[in-house]
Amino acid sequence: MRFILQLAVFIAVLGLSYGQVPSLGKCPKVNVQQNFDINQYMGRWYEMQRFFAIFQISSDCVSADYQLQDSGLVRVNNTGYSKLKRGYTTAIGTAKIMDPNEPAKLGVKFFDGQPYGDYWVLSTDYKTYSVVWSCSEVFFRTFNTQFAWILTRDPAGISDSKRDELIKMMEDYGIKTKHFSRTNQSNCP
């Protein structure tokens, strides 16, 4: 019993240290966007909802700008208003398609030497919404840590009915959407 308690504490601390949502077991099996077109995906996206991430703590007005480079890599510019710093913060990174046979499974990194982390596009219509998810299995695959975002082209978001449809899709995969919180996109400085 003591080992299980220690393991649970370890999982919780590890999940918080990465800023991801921890769960017991392996990552859920998901499908990604079929026939993903990286060119249509480029441009600005606004964060409508997200799982908790330590690097986004107290951030409002979050957006991501994606720009395809001649090299085939994607320049990532994530920006958000930090209430703690009382100003905008920016993270510049690189994304790439990890496997040409599954182009909706991208990898993203923000520091040299950092391995690419998953950035899987589960669903997008390119014009209004995108569902992005990441899951990493750790500690002998006995638990996993997840990130998830619903991004929209409009800072006002998408309709409640479309949001509910996307949430249902994620729940059908076994993703615990109760961890979503809404990102403030109003009265942005």
pLDDT tens for each residue of 93-122 = 999 999 999 999 999 999 999 999 999 999
Return the CATH number at 136. Answer: 2.40.128.20
The answer as to whether 45 is a domain residue is yes
- Tell whether the model's pLDDT for residue 82 goes beyond 70: yes
The answer as to whether 188 is a domain residue is no
* Interior angle at CA 67, CA 97 and CA 46, nearest 5: 95
The answer as to whether 185 is a domain residue is no
Q: Other CB atoms closer than 10 Å to residue 182's CB: what's the count?
A: 12
Q: What are phi and psi of 49, to 5 degrees?
A: -145, 155
Q: How many CA atoms lie within 13 A of 165 on its CB side?
A: 9
174 three-class SS: coil
- Tell whether the model's pLDDT for residue 56 goes beyond 80: no
The answer as to whether 182 is a domain residue is no
Q: What is the pLDDT of residues 10-48, one digit of tens each?
A: 444 443 334 467 677 899 999 999 999 999 999 999 999
Instruction: Tell me how many helices (H) and strands (E) the chain has.
Output: 3, 10
The answer as to whether 183 is a domain residue is no
CA dihedral 58, 124, 170, 79 (to 10 degrees): -10
The whole-model pTM stands at 0.85
Please, which residues bridge with residue 49 across strands?
A: 150, 182
The answer as to whether 94 is a domain residue is yes
The answer as to whether 32 is a domain residue is yes
Q: How many residues in the chain?
A: 189
Which letter does DSSP use for residue 84 in this model? T
The total number of structural domains that make up the chain: 1
Q: Other CB atoms closer than 10 Å to residue 121's CB: what's the count?
A: 20
Nearest Cα to 33, choosing from 156, 151, 117?
151
Parent domain of 74: 2-175
